[in-house]
Structure 1
Amino acid sequence: MRVVDIPLYGVWNTMKQRCYNPKNHKYKNYGERGITVCSDWKNNFWSFYHWGISNGYQRGLTLDRINVNGNYEPQNCRWATQKVQQNNRRNNSIINGKTIAEWADKSELSYTTIRKRIESGMAPEEAISTPDRHFVNITINGETKNLTEWSKIYGVPMKLASRRIKEMGWDPAVAVTKPPRKGNYHYAT
């Protein structure tokens, strides 16, 4: 196996690119802010690899800096889920004592929905209290899921399912289970 085929190699390389390559799209949030990689890791993939394995690396986890203003070094890094990472961001919005990720976890709204609402100028309290227009509970064969979940399961674009329900008056269960017409999936009826 080539070293570049080892999953941790990609993590190591990406970490270095963010910190040292001005052409990397994330450089402004890392290297430009003075975030660096400790010399032991920067110059030695195997050192990073052994640290990663001995500190709980598993596929699906991401490298997280505990102090978001600190460097990539053993005492400031850990393996974390996306949810933990979303709560450990320097641009996190705190709404009534909770981060956006925490609100998303406790509500029927996605992280992206809440963040985009705030970015578009909606007041944070309104962003977390306004129901998602796509959150329609639908029961099929005794199982209840929302419009987004059923749309993914049946492969019907959510915009199409939503249009079928809201504009055309379709039964929600039919709207998410009837496949779109071929070649016209955006507006199929």
Structure 2
Amino acid sequence: MRLQAGFQRFEMVPRTVWYLPCAEKLRIHSYIEVLKLIAVNMVMAQRNPKPRDVEYDAFINMHHRCFNPKHKQYKDYGERGIWVCAEWVDNFDQFLTDVGRKPDPSLTLDRIDNSKGYEPGNVRWASRQTQSRNIRSNRWITAFGETKLLCEWAEEYGITSQLIRNRATMGWPIEDAIARPIQKSSRWKHYNIDGYNMTCHGHANRLGLSSPGLSYRMAKHGMSMEEAIADAQRAKK
């Protein structure tokens, strides 16, 4: 069985003590014990077959993220001190009672407060869009007299959150970083700079710069041709 085999591989990991901060202060001597309890339940489920619940899959994955150092997301959960409350450890029925069935197949398990663990009142079924607004890397930004999430500013102005971050890192005023439209470079478009009316390629040759580099700066960072040239010249020094 998949989980049971996984449990056997994990037995060589040194034992640790887990304290789950909850009302009952349940003490789990190691994440291995948690996986073992889940594995036993899966053995019983095989003896009494029934349709597999998508909610149960989410329940299992929740435990792995918090207790299994081999899991790819453990560093963002268990390593950060994110835990599963005592009421839900090896108790799928209680988890289901508190969280409820998934109302839509596209929804996934989400923690409302990312600084807290999986516990009643802090877990919900949420869409990918809702979860993208609830990640640690997101941030509140005040501009134009309003305060919104970075992703909300990006959606409103039709650009990416990463572009706003890049511009802000480069020292752009925050309102320019948000509202400046992306400059689309054209192979044949002419730019009048310093009295020279040339294409991007022509200006690059004249100044000893990379034409793709100038185009990239305009397309990726929303720079004007003048800004792209100035930035390329600074980088060349």
- 1:154-169 → structure 2 map (5 Å cutoff): 166-167=186-187
Q: How far apart in 1 are the matches of 2:134 and 2:57? A: 22
Shift of 1:44: 1.9
Paired residue secondary structure (2:100): helix
The farther-off stretch of 56-65 and 1-10 is 1-10
Partner of 1:62: 108
Question: CA distance change for structure 1 residues 107 and 119 in 2, over 3 Å: closer, same or farther?
Answer: closer
Q: How far apart in 2 are the matches of 1:70 and 1:85? A: 15
Provide the TM-score with structure 2 as the length reference.
0.47
Question: CA distance change for structure 1 residues 168 and 41 in 2, over 3 Å: closer, same or farther?
Answer: farther
Provide the TM-score with structure 1 as the length reference.
0.57
Question: CA distance change for structure 1 residues 133 and 15 in 2, over 3 Å: closer, same or farther?
Answer: farther
- 1:135-174 → structure 2 map (5 Å cutoff): 166-167=186-187
Shift of 1:31: 0.6
Partner of 1:174: none
Paired residue secondary structure (2:110): strand
In structure 1, the gaps of 5 or more residues are 135-164, 170-189
Shift of 1:65: 1.4
Deviations 1:121-165 (A, max 9, x none): 34572442232468xxxxxxxxxxxxxxxxxxxxxxxxxxxxxx9
Aligned pair partner of 1:91 in 95, 115, 137? 137
Shift of 1:166: 4.3
Contact 1:108 1:132 (C-alpha < 8 Å) held by counterparts = no
Q: How far apart in 1 are the matches of 2:183 and 2:135? A: 28
Shift of 1:11: 1.5
Partner of 1:33: 80
Amino acid at match of 2:152: E
Question: CA distance change for structure 1 residues 128 and 10 in 2, over 3 Å: closer, same or farther?
Answer: farther
Shift of 1:37: 0.7
Partner of 2:181: 131
RMSD, aligned CA: 3.2
Partner of 1:77: 123
Aligned length: 135
Q: How far apart in 2 are the matches of 1:21 and 1:103? A: 37
Question: CA distance change for structure 1 residues 34 and 101 in 2, over 3 Å: closer, same or farther?
Answer: same
Q: How far apart in 1 are the matches of 2:57 and 2:183? A: 38
Shift of 1:107: 2.3
In structure 2, the gaps of 5 or more residues are 1-45, 190-237
Shift of 1:114: 1.7
Q: How far apart in 1 are the matches of 2:148 and 2:88? A: 34
Q: How far apart in 1 are the matches of 2:183 and 2:55? A: 40
Paired residue secondary structure (1:64): strand
Partner of 2:65: 18
Give % identity: 36
Question: CA distance change for structure 1 residues 100 and 51 in 2, over 3 Å: closer, same or farther?
Answer: same
Shift of 1:68: 1.1
Contact 1:18 1:27 (C-alpha < 8 Å) held by counterparts = yes
Q: Find out whether 1:52 has 2:102 as its counterpart.
A: no
Larger radius of gyration: 2
